[in-house]
């Protein structure tokens, strides 16, 4: 049966359509760009083909919370996970540094997360866990993944594209031979990118936000609670918190706090004789430390066990003046996790991913 377009229908279309577009034009002219609302999850990312998949799981969570608030269990989840239920007004920028999403949230502190990585049998496993955690962030988390390789690999690029992360960069730098510690050169490459982003940002509002950001060094084989972002956003200069599970220790590092002064009075960690008995995963710094000339960088020739101390000594901030966070260093939001897979008693073959992207 053929559809017949009657005269009344045609008249209705001719009258209603122009009125619709006229109203839209007048509203936009009067009010300016209509604000985009983000339920932490509901970001429609123009030009990002993965937009729906990046945020769909969060939309379900938000709807569930909205419809279940009378239930104590859901109220508890809402209190523990404000990052999943908060409503934010988005701003849009054409900054080339905002990728893949070009939206961000004014008033929410930016966190730059630096992650060195290298090819191994558990690399995808570790990065997937890492991306899934920080991908829960509403916005304003920029993850910088730096491969220890001659070239950036298509695999890591694909994993980043498939992740829930809203803002990321992918770099590479091959480690020099003969180093006792790993990751320093990769972290320094990311620091140089952060300097480039902050110092050369053309969007004035976004630049101001970047200038008050925090930098965190997240190794790819650690585990993280998303609430670490809440602690990072409290950092005014340098902040610290406990780190769980390292070797035979239940807690790799924590500090005792003077209840009167609120300052650290004792560090509990391996190698307490170190200038700064703090683990890489146990501190965050204000971005200003990396914008000075010369910038704060990791020393690639540090002796084993001295890497963090050699780095933090350059800040000229006493270990007693570092800010104790995570409820005065009583909560753990990050853990050392050693993932290791063997082929019996042998190392995995070099082409372990020839048939399957494991």
Give residues with Cβ within 8 angstroms of 358, minimum separation 6: 121, 124, 125, 352
Pairwise CA distance, residues 304 & 301, whole Å: 9
Q: Note the pLDDT tens digit of each residue in 217-262.
A: 999 999 999 999 999 999 999 999 999 886 556 666 678 999 889 9
Class of domain 87-336: alpha beta
43 vs 59: which has the higher pLDDT: 59
Answer yes or no: is pLDDT of 268 > 70.
yes
Q: Which residue has the higher pLDDT, 55 or 28?
A: 55
| Chain-centre distance for alpha carbon 230 | 11
The answer to whether 253 and 242 are in contact (CB under 8 A) is: yes
User: What pLDDT does residue 162 have?
Assistant: 93
Active site residue: 185, 231, 308, 323, which one? Answer: 308
42 has pLDDT over 70: no
Beta-carbon contacts of 15 under 8 Å, excluding residues fewer than 6 positions away, are none
Say if residue 54's pLDDT is above 90: no
The H or E element that residue 237 is part of is none
Delimit the domains of the chain by residue range. Answer: 12-86, 87-336
Laid out side by side, the sheet with 214-217 consists of 167-172, 141-147, 111-117, 214-217, 283-286, 238-240, 323-324
Q: Write down the pLDDT at residue 178.
A: 81
Q: Catalytic residue at 205?
A: no
| Annotated binding residue 221 | yes
Contact 142, 215 (CB under 8 A): no
| Per-residue pLDDT reduced to its tens digit, 94-136 | 999 999 999 999 999 999 999 999 999 899 999 999 999 999 8
Ramachandran region of residue 347, left (φ > 0), alpha (ψ -120 to 50) or beta? beta
- Residue range 32-37: average pLDDT? 43
Maximum distance among all Cα pairs of the chain, rounded to whole angstroms: 89
Sequence-ordered alpha helix ranges (H) in the chain: 7-31, 51-67, 72-80, 82-85, 123-134, 154-162, 184-200, 204-210, 228-232, 288-291, 307-313, 326-329
Asked whether residue 172 carries a pLDDT value surpassing 90, the answer given is yes
Higher pLDDT, 36 or 68: 68
Whether residue 327 is predicted with pLDDT greater than 60 in this model: the reply is yes
pLDDT above 70 covers a percentage of the chain that reads 72
């Amino acid at each position: 049966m053929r559809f017949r377009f009657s005269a009344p229908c045609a008249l209705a279309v001719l009258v209603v359509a122009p009125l619709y577009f006229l109203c839209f034009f007048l509203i936009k002219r009067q009010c300016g760009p209509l604000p985009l609302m983000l339920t932490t999850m509901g970001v429609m990312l123009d030009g990002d083909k993965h937009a729906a998949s990046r945020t769909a799981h969060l939309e379900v969570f938000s709807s569930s919370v909205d419809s279940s608030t009378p239930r104590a269990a859901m109220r508890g989840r809402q209190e523990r996970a404000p990052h999943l239920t908060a409503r934010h007004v988005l701003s849009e920028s054409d900054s080339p540094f905002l990728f893949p999403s070009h939206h961000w949230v004014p008033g929410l502190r930016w966190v730059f997360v630096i992650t060195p990585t290298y090819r191994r049998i558990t690399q995808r496993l570790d990065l997937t866990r890492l991306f899934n955690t920080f991908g829960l962030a509403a916005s304003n988390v920029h993850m910088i993944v730096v491969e220890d390789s001659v070239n950036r690999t298509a695999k890591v690029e694909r994993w980043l594209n498939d992740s829930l992360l809203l803002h990321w960069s992918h770099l590479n730098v091959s480690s020099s031979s003969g180093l006792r510690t790993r990751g320093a050169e990769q972290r320094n490459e990311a620091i140089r990118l952060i300097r480039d982003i902050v110092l050369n940002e053309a969007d004035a509002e976004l630049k101001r936000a970047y200038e008050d950001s925090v930098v965190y060094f997240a190794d790819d084989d650690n585990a993280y609670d998303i609430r670490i972002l809440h602690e990072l956003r409290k950092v005014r200069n340098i902040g610290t918190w406990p780190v769980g599970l390292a070797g035979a220790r239940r807690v790799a590092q924590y500090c005792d706090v003077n209840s009167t002064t609120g300052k650290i009075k004792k560090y509990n960690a391996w190698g307490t004789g170190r200038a700064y008995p703090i683990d890489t995963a146990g501190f965050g710094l204000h971005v200003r430390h990396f914008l000075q000339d010369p910038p704060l960088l990791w020393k690639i020739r540090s002796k084993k066990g001295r890497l963090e101390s050699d780095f933090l000594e350059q800040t000229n901030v006493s270990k007693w003046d570092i800010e104790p966070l995570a409820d005065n260093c009583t909560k753990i939001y990050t853990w050392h996790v050693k993932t290791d897979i063997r082929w019996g008693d042998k190392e995995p073959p070099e082409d372990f991913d020839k048939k399957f992207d494991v």
